[in-house]
Amino acid sequence: MTSDSRGAQLKPKILVTRAVFQEVIDYLSEYFDVDSNQSDEVFSDAELIRRLQGKAGVYANPTNLMSAEVIRSAPELRAICNMAVGYNNIDVAAATAAGIMVTNTPDVLNETTADFGWTLLMATARRVTESEHYLRAGLWKKWNYDSFMGVDVHGSTLGVIGMGRIGRAVARRSMGFNMKVIYNNRSRLAPELEAEANNARHVSREELLRSADHVVLVLPYSKESHHLIGAAELALMKPTATLINIARGGIVDDAALIDALSAGKIAAAGLDVFENEPAFNLGFLKLSNVVLTPHIGSASGSTRRAMADCAADNLIAALSGHRPPNLLNPESFK
């Protein structure tokens, strides 16, 4: 803390960029002078820069683009604490160059996000939303032997691209479905981790796409993973296969996926994330063989609260002179 001209202790000023649990605002207020945004306005870059003036910390949200320009425009900023495990909304290199600590919220959402990956996988494979729309529209008049035939999950091959903590949690759940698991990762897992992930086998990305009945994407977004799944990769997949994306928009070329789904090159897709979300490609709305959800993979009450608390604890540690628990750029901590 600093002191004013009368010697009174002044709390560091922080910005909370989007609405969050009021209890978290109250908790942060014990340590900081909080500029909150409980009206949940989505700040423009110019407004974000304006609100960051004089702030030592920012409690950020994935919708806030903490670009190099924004970071350069906030000279007093010392910490950016993201309420998410992903941090592709933050220019970490620019923050590091400015001596700003950057944190995320790993681990607390692994199991909930894996649950949701399976929610999408099951709904996609068994055509749940498509058949529900049919029923709600009053079109169900009789039972037919071939109505809404999907593809089996049990006994099939699950392919996981990105075998981090969430990917392994997805793979573990396949044991109950007697599935074979193959995965692609930057490096092979230790044998004991493969065993825990239903005896997962490391393969090339091309082999995974050719062999898997259900492909689940759980890898971080980066320049290297941008459009990792495009027209060429979709062409490798089985026409009966499904693609599930619970990772980040931009990993899949959405336009190429729409073309593949329209042409029946793959059976279906389940998507929780999109390029340029929330302004996603409206071509998806014309398709019946895609399940669409608005980035809710971690959206259980207990998990979102755990994420909010984790981000708050990171910010309190960072501005109290302690190393934050989830520091992404350790070189910034001095």
Please spell the DSSP secondary structure of 180-200, one letter per residue.
EEEEE-SSPPPHHHHHHTTS-
Give the count of beta carbons closer than 10 Å to the beta carbon of residue 199: 12
Catalytic residue among 194, 233, 275, 277: 277
Residue 48 confidence (pLDDT) above 90? yes
Cα–chain-centroid distance for residue 239? 27
Q: Nearest 5 degrees, angle CA 149-CA 154-CA 156? A: 90
**pLDDT tens, residue by residue, 216-259:** 999 999 999 999 999 999 999 999 999 999 999 999 999 999 99
Catalytic residue among 78, 173, 248, 304: 248
Task: Give the per-residue pLDDT at 153.
Answer: 98
Rounded CA-CA distance 137/140 in Å is 8
Provide the mean pLDDT of the chain: 96
Task: Give the per-residue pLDDT at 30.
Answer: 97
Helix axis angle, 22-29 to 301-318, nearest 10°: 20
Check if the beta carbon of residue 291 is closer than 8 Å to that of residue 268: yes
248 is a catalytic site residue: yes
Check if the beta carbon of residue 241 is closer than 8 Å to that of residue 125: no
Q: Which CATH architecture has domain 110-292?
A: 3-Layer(aba) Sandwich (3.40)
Spell out the residues 6+ positions from residue 311 whose beta carbon is closer than 8 angstroms to its own. Answer: 59, 81, 82, 83, 103, 105
Residue 2 confidence (pLDDT) above 80? no
The domain 2-108+301-332 having CATH identifier 3.40.50.1970: the answer here is: no
Rounded CA-CA distance 265/239 in Å is 5
Do the bridges between strand 2-3 and strand 9-10 make them parallel or antiparallel, or are there none, so unpaired?
Answer: antiparallel
Check if the beta carbon of residue 209 is closer than 8 Å to that of residue 232: no
Rounded CA-CA distance 184/219 in Å is 10
Q: Which helix (H) or strand (E) holds 268?
A: strand 268-271
Catalytic residue among 295, 304, 322, 331: 295
**pLDDT tens, residue by residue, 299-314:** 999 999 999 999 999 9
Rounded CA-CA distance 139/147 in Å is 12
What counts of helices (H) and strands (E) characterise the chain? 12, 14
Domain ranges of the chain: 2-108+301-332, 110-292
277 is a catalytic site residue: yes
Percentage of the chain exceeding pLDDT 70 = 97
Residue 8 confidence (pLDDT) above 80? no
Check if the beta carbon of residue 23 is closer than 8 Å to that of residue 309: no
Rounded CA-CA distance 104/324 in Å is 10
Residue 138: left if φ>0, alpha if ψ -120 to 50, beta else—which one? left
Strand partners, 270: 244, 291
Cα–chain-centroid distance for residue 222? 12
Residue 20 confidence (pLDDT) above 70? yes
Rounded CA-CA distance 280/185 in Å is 27
Averaged pLDDT, 189-209:
98
130 is a catalytic site residue: no
Would you say the CATH fold of 110-292 matches that of 2-108+301-332? yes
Residue 334 confidence (pLDDT) above 90? no
Task: Give the per-residue pLDDT at 250.
Answer: 96
Task: Give the per-residue pLDDT at 4.
Answer: 52
Task: Give the per-residue pLDDT at 3.
Answer: 53
Residue 266 confidence (pLDDT) above 90? yes
What's the pLDDT band for 6 if we cut at 50, 70, 90? low
Tokens of 143: 């039972």
**pLDDT tens, residue by residue, 78-133:** 999 999 999 999 999 999 999 999 999 999 999 999 999 999 999 999 999 999 99
